[in-house]
Every structure is written in C-alpha cells, then in structure tokens.
Chains A and B, each alone.
Chain A
Amino acid sequence: MRGSVLPIENNLEETILNFIKEAFDKKCIEAVILPKRIPSGDSFAYLLIKDKSILEGASPFPPVIPVQGAKAISSLTRQGSVKKKILAIMHPCEIRATIELFKLKQTTLNNLIFMSYDCPGVLPLSDYLENPDENDQTFLAAQQKWDSKDMRPVCKICTEFSAPASDLHIGQLGTDEGKIFLIPNSSVGKEFLNAFGLNSDVPLDEWEAEVEKLKKERENNKKDAQEKLKTKVEGPENLLETLSSCITCHNCMRVCPVCYCRQCYFDSDAFKFPPDNFISKSEKKGSIRLPSDTLIFHLGRMSHMIHSCVSCGTCEDACPMDIPIAQIFNLVADKTQQVLDYKPGRNIEEPLPTVTYQEEELQEFEKPYSETYIKVEETNV
C-alpha cells in the first residue's frame, strides 16, 4: 500500500476540516456529508454541508453513531443520483453498509466520494447520553490510546475497522506523532490527492503492520466474546431467554441500514391473524405470549439480511431493552458470511450471495439421497 503523509495542525479534527475546506477551494467537491453536534449539544446528526461557515465546529470523528451513515446516504440518493460532487466522511461500517445498499439498489453512488478512517469504535448511545460532556473526554482519551474498554461490545470485536472500499482512507495507526496517512483506494482518491499536490507514493509498511496487529488482537477478542455469547444464545431455551424481554418495538429493524424495506414483512398484513390462530396455539401449550411473533421476527429478519449484516451495532443502540441484538447478529453473520465466502461491503463489484450461485459449490451441505438414505437402508439390512 502506498499513500501520502499529512501533518496534523493542532488536532486531527481541525486538520481534516481544513483539508475539506481546501477541497472546496480547489473545486474537488461542492458539498460534504459529516456529523455535527446538534444545537442542544448532547448528540450528533449527519449534515450535508455546502456552506463553509457551517463546516466550522463539525465533528468528523463523533463519539457515537446516532444514525447509520448508510441511512443518511440512501435518504439522499434513493430516488436518483445527486448532481453535486459530494464527499462523505463516515465510519468504515457505515461505508460498508452503503455499499450493501447500493447492491440492493437502494442508493446511487454517482458523484459521491467516500472517506473513511481507522476506527477506534464508538460509545454506546445510551451511555453517552447520560453525560455527554464527560463522555466526550472518555472518548477522546480512548481514541488516542486505541483503548476499546468503553466502546460498544461490537466495536470491541470489529475486525473491519480499517480501509473499506472507500475512495480515500485516513490512516492513524502506525504513524509518528503529528502525522496521518492519506491512502487512496480508487482512481477518484488518487485524483483527489493529485489536486492537493500530495505525493501519494509513500510506502505505508508501518501502517499495514499496525493494522494487522490490531486486527489479530480484535480477532482474538472476537473469538472469546463469541464463545461467551454462544453459551447465552445457543439452543431454543437460551435464545428465548435472551429475547424474553423483547417488546417487539422493531426499533432494531428500523435503524438497521440493510433493512431497507419500507414496510417490513413482519409489520405487514401477512402477520395479522384471526383470533382462532392465537387461541388454538395457546390451547396447545397452555399459554402463549403476546405479541406472539417475537422469535419469528428476529430469526426472520436474520434470514433476510444476515449475509449483508455489517455488524455496525446500531440495532443494539436503539434497543430500549438492552438486548445484545447486535452481538447475536454478529455471531450468525460471521458464520454465514464465512460459508458463503462473502464479506459485506468488501467490494462493490462482488454480487450479493443470494442472487448468484455456482453449480459446483456448497456440496458439503447437501445430503444426496444416494449417500445418506441408501447407506441407512444397507445398514438396516
């Protein structure tokens, strides 16, 4: 990997904001999408900004993800392309989700330039809201030390924290004090750096080594965390117990960047039954919980989107009952995506695993009649 080096003036945020302002001046872009603190000061919102004065005080590296960036992008471009050249600065998971939405035909990416950065993780939204000022400091410290202690559980085990399929990537790992790397991932990114007159041919071995190291560390964390979670969710009893406090508000689905359906199947008429349906079920078991579709909702949603789940953790942030829903989905997503050899958001050219196939694949999951049943018969004889 090769890229360029950018010196940090004062602090990282200011450097990036100045970089964007320069990009405006150099006519590389006409607008930018990045988070800014809302007027009440205790949370952040994505803004599409054209006016440089509004850019002042924006937060390219927010301590929380209140709204998944992919949702922001698709709200802008679901109905067609933008004409202005727009730069979007987002967490890697948000960019990965955007790419998935593009594959699902829920956004168009013409004229959009994506900028990502090595992500230290973010704080849980509810924790942050309890004391925004103090948590700003906590996050700042954690960000500098790459300490994921206070970050969200899925951030702690995220291995895709660096260099997604963005156009430009900000490398913070393995740099000397006072410097960051700007790494072009596409021809657009290269042009961008050229416009700035930056030499994009500096070798980035240190960065790569550092990323690998952190990846390994996170990989190990992930293994431990997943083992621990498995004991809580494996088997119907355990899973039901973990989901027992679910109130079926469907917040997880609504904030999920990949769940793009305007009307979820589980909210639709297909899930409205006559009273007999409930009563006969209840008579079989003595009682049924109401609403009766908690488990089918979660498992069904899983079957709809798990191959595209980017483990961004927004669902867990939005859950009023603190169910570790993002961790459960991460566990299943990991396995599913491994089997399908698919990583969501890895490559925009890669087709969704559910719309493509090879004739000679996944045979280990088949149980051909000739092999299983004939053998059984033979042994019976």
Chain B
Amino acid sequence: MSTDGLQVNIDDRDGVAVLSPVGDVDMNASPDLRARLKPIVSKDNPRLVIDLSQVPYMDSSGVATLVEAMKLVRNHKGSLALCCMNDRVRGIFEIARLDQYFSIHDSLDDAVEQV
C-alpha cells in the first residue's frame, strides 16, 4: 500500500498557475491537494487552472477541497477554472449540483483563457 502523497505538478502559463494532480483525489489524497492549493489561493488576485486530465477518480473530499479553494479565490478577488475532467469525475460534480458553480472547460487552453 503506497504511503506516497498525491503528486501535484505546478506550471505557469502567462501568469496563470496550472495545477495538475496525478492520481485519485480521495480522502487519502485530498489533504495533499489542499496543501498545494493553499499558498496559491491565499495570494491577492490568484489566477489558476486545475487540470484534472490525470485524475481518474474524485470523491466528495476532493470536491470539498475544490469548493474551499474556490471560496478562497473569490475572497481574494481571483479566478479559478477546472478543465479536462473525465466523465466519472464530472459525474460527481453533477450529483453535487456543483457543475454550475465552477467554470469547467474541456481543454486547458480554454480554461487558461477564461481565467
């Protein structure tokens, strides 16, 4: 059983932080994602995209982490977009009625442009 934390790659695209988690974002991994998000979303006017193309699975703890990030981003007058989620991950946003709360895009380019 792996004890490694969630891998989260962070890149900069024209001033937009692009976070790319790699792996399932469940109760075990959500604290790692939260820890990587916090310094970014706590800045003034944060602009970030979370690329979910390498997230095969997300549960409600992952969704809660993203809701928390979105609230912090709004408090700091920034913007956040999600992109590239598979149908399985999109399904949980729909079940939670959060697919309208987030700005969700099919491509990374569209998401970066949006924020």
A binds B: no
